[in-house]
Amino acid sequence: MKPLLITICGPTGIGKTSWAILLARHYNTVILSADSRQFYKEMTIGTAVPAKEELRAAPHYFIQHRTVKEAYTVGDYQKEALSKLEELFSEHSIVIMAGGSGLYLDAVTKGLDEFPEVDPALRDSLRERLQTEGLNPLQQLLVEKDPVYAGRADLNNPQRVLRALEVCLQSGQPYSSFLGKRKASDFFKNIPLGITGSREIIYKRIEERVDRMMEQGLLEEARELYPLKDLNALQTVGYQELFRFFDGEISLEEAVKEIKKNSRRFAKRQGTWFRKNADIKWFDFQAATEEVISYIDAQIEH
């Protein structure tokens, strides 16, 4: 029988860490994080890194193992996570993976599309254009080079626009022509679980979490990271809004309101991503642990 990877997804603030720890303790196993911002050791409060007692409750991997100064892509994560899983499955028949970054979860469970290597000089020139000319000319260039991808992508996300343009200009082919050809790893079975709640509950938990982060010292953490604000890792909700406060663009009160608003928007995007996966078994965030374990055990026996 193949080893089993239980993946836990859901919107920000819904309780994925708590669920992962409960299941890890029940199955006497370990947890891999698939939260793309918890990878960075400089970002603790704003990324809701598990508390020390939570980290002691079950072994965690891919928590604060990188620095924001390093380039670390979803492809890098995929290679490291698959390698770690091969190692862990020699000791455990079940491993838990939890996080709200759908792309990173999918990279491990479904594979990634393969793209050509991009010349660093081309990458740098595009980023320089973004800095000097703004996003609009790059959006227009992407529409010209790949109207198919431009028609379905979030063109207000500069990282998406830059990445697509890199591939278009490097290869001479549309970015969209490389999509949809990925291969999933076949050395484990995946049971995808989702945690959810009503929109009102999700938004309430988000707002309470932001208030808690501010009480824990998010302002001071962001101030320390402010000199690095242009790094990719810091293009993150919770930091970007406070950087605008430091720049004098908005008040602290407005920054906190923006964090809450942008966190709600992020949760909505997460929901859109996860709903595309019809295999996810959804549970209410207040579901009894026994109900979840019963479902998992039934899948193991199936």
Residues 6+ apart with CB under 8 A from 135: 156, 158, 161
Distance CA 290, CA 276 (A): 27
Output the pLDDT for position 301.
Answer: 80
Output the pLDDT for position 19.
Answer: 96
As given in the structure block, the two tokens for residue 282 are 């959804």
Distance CA 263, CA 57 (A): 28
> Same domain for 125 and 36?
no
Distance CA 215, CA 211 (A): 6
Residues 6+ apart with CB under 8 A from 32: 60, 61, 62, 81, 84, 85, 95, 96, 97, 98
233 CB burial (10 A radius; 0-12, 13-18, 19+): buried
Output the pLDDT for position 220.
Answer: 98
CATH number at residue 168: 1.10.20.140
Output the pLDDT for position 113.
Answer: 80
Question: CB–CB of 196/286 below 8 Å?
Answer: no
> Same domain for 187 and 290?
yes
Q: Last residue of some domain: 156, 178, 200?
A: 178
Phi, psi of 169 (to 5 degrees): -75, -35
**Would the CA dihedral through 134, 140, 141, 145 be positive or negative?**
positive
Output the pLDDT for position 114.
Answer: 81
> Same domain for 32 and 151?
no
Distance CA 181, CA 111 (A): 9
Output the pLDDT for position 248.
Answer: 97
Closest by alpha carbon to 66, among 98, 106, 37, 105? Answer: 37
> Same domain for 155 and 187?
no
- Domain count for the chain, please give it: 2
Find the helix or strand (DSSP H, E) in which 94 lies.
strand 94-98
> Same domain for 51 and 166?
no
Distance CA 8, CA 148 (A): 32
Q: Which range marks the domain in which residue 132 is found?
A: 120-178
Output the pLDDT for position 56.
Answer: 94
Q: pLDDT 10s digit of each residue in the chain, 302 long?
A: 899 999 999 999 999 999 999 999 999 999 999 999 999 999 999 999 999 999 999 999 999 999 999 988 888 999 999 999 999 999 999 999 999 999 999 999 999 888 888 898 999 999 999 989 999 999 999 999 999 999 988 888 888 899 999 999 999 999 999 887 777 778 999 999 999 999 999 999 999 999 999 999 999 999 999 999 989 899 999 999 999 999 999 999 999 999 999 999 999 999 999 999 999 999 999 999 999 999 999 998 87
CATH number at residue 89: 3.40.50.300
246 CB burial (10 A radius; 0-12, 13-18, 19+): middle
> Same domain for 241 and 217?
yes
Output the pLDDT for position 223.
Answer: 98
Distance CA 276, CA 9 (A): 13
